Amino acid sequence: MSVKQVIAEIRKELDNFTAVRKWKEETGQKVIGWFPPDVPEELIAAAGALPVGISGFRPETRLAEAHLPRYVCSFMRGSLEMALRGELDFLDGVVFPHACDTKKHIVGLWERNCRFGFVHNLLFPRQLNLPSAQKYYRQEILRFCSALESFTGSKITTEKYQHIVAIYNQNRQLLREILRLQGEKQLLSNEDFYLVVMSSMLMPKTESNFFLTKLLNELTHGKGSQNMVPVVLSGSLVETNGFLKILDNCRLIAVGDDLYTGYRYFCLDVDGEDMLGGLTKRHFNQIPYSGYYSERHQKSEFLASLATERRAAGIIFIHLMFCEQENYEYPEVKQYLDRKNIPSIRIELDYQTQAWGQLSTRLQSFAEMLGVV
């Protein structure tokens, strides 16, 4: 079986959420959607439900327009559109981490218009500096656990949790290995790589592990080339066509990122022995994110060292239009990278109204500057 065939199989499982629907039909259990970032999926799974990442990258929105002002990012707009169209009808519940103002204030619209049996606000600390933050995080985790347990009717036992964690850690290890090989061999297109990451959010992890193992096997034995220029992507998330296709055409290859539909999703394993301690440790050791305040984790330094470590020729900021958090952070990060002589470009993405042609021209020039011939 070739890499292409495995990708085609994965794609088939994602089409119309086939894998999720199949799981639900077979198990009769509940499916709980979550918004990024940093929702501890392990707890959802340990409570007997299937966690599914919600990612609305619709090319057009119609129904959501009646509920939202113009200045909501295309990700949250597209997600609401999907829900309103009934495309997420397999969901029994949704989890909203309050990591930005839009997520915090859009919950009411989901509750009123989508009528899920379970809507949970995950109110994680937005500062990571003080001792109070860790203590509070643990309390929020416990509150999440009891909300999940009473919804699914199933207790999160140590045994179940440890079983889940082992599967999830394996999943992350596989993804990390695939990313490492991307740097070495460039066997997957950008589009396919991020599709693979996304697939892990959209199917049971055991199934995901099966596909990832198969894929990894092909990649390990595949003969790579080195004809694309490596870059790092920075932002919150990336959709799997549009922009990534352009990146492929420009012969730039992502070998690292700080996206929550990318590296952030799988960079850290969790210790299964001590549930609260393990989850807390992971949360507070995560890579920098614009929604949390931390004196220790500086995005500028993180990106510069990631670029160096991954031997990237430059950094592409893919910011969602109307995402203020990413924007506020950008000038300082950009100046830092300039001082370090790391070339970068910032593009603002709106998945519904993007002028892809113009974007392609800009990326093309950036690629040429980085030495793509």
Partner 1 sequence: MTFKRIEFKTKNLLKQTMERYNTRALQAAQEGIPVAWVTAVFPVEILYAMDIFPYYPENFGAAAGTHRRTEELSKIAENEGYSARVCAYTRAGLGLMYGFSDFGKEIPKPDILLPCNIQCACLYKWFEITAKFYNLPLFLLDGPQIDEPSWEVQKQYFIEQLNELIGFLEKTTRKKLNMNRLSEVLELSTEACTLWNKVLASAKTKPARLTYWDACILMGPIVTLRGTKEALNYYSELSKELEERDKGNISAVPGEKIRLYWDHIPIWPRMRFFSELFGFHQAAVVCSLYTHSWAYRFDPERPLESLTENYLREFVNWKFERRVEKKVKLMREYDVDGFIFNLNNSCKPNSLALVEKRNVITEQLNIPGLLLEADMCDLRFFDEGTVKNRVESFLEMVSRQ
- Site for partner 1, rule CB under 8 A: 66-72, 98, 100-102, 104-109, 111-113, 121, 123-127, 129-133, 135-136, 139-140, 143, 290-291, 293, 321-322, 324-325, 327-332, 334, 346, 348
CA distance 25 to 349: 36
The least CB distance from residue 368 to partner 1, in Å, is 23
The least CB distance from residue 299 to partner 1, in Å, is 11
Please give the single-letter amino acid code of residue 91.
L
The least CB distance from residue 273 to partner 1, in Å, is 25
CA distance 231 to 234: 10
Closer residue to partner 1 (CB): 65 or 87: 65
Angle at which helices 18-27 and 3-14 cross, to 10° = 60
Closer residue to partner 1 (CB): 127 or 217: 127
Angle at 310 (CA atoms; ends 305, 312), nearest 5 degrees: 90
Of 350, 297, 363, give the one whose Cα is nearest residue 321: 350
Phi and psi, residue 66, nearest 5°: -75, -10
Helix, strand or coil, per DSSP, at residue 268: coil
Angle at 285 (CA atoms; ends 282, 289), nearest 5 degrees: 110
Closer residue to partner 1 (CB): 71 or 210: 71
The least CB distance from residue 102 to partner 1, in Å, is 6
Closer residue to partner 1 (CB): 101 or 273: 101
Closer residue to partner 1 (CB): 130 or 166: 130
The least CB distance from residue 116 to partner 1, in Å, is 15
The least CB distance from residue 108 to partner 1, in Å, is 2
Closer residue to partner 1 (CB): 8 or 130: 130
CA distance 281 to 309: 24
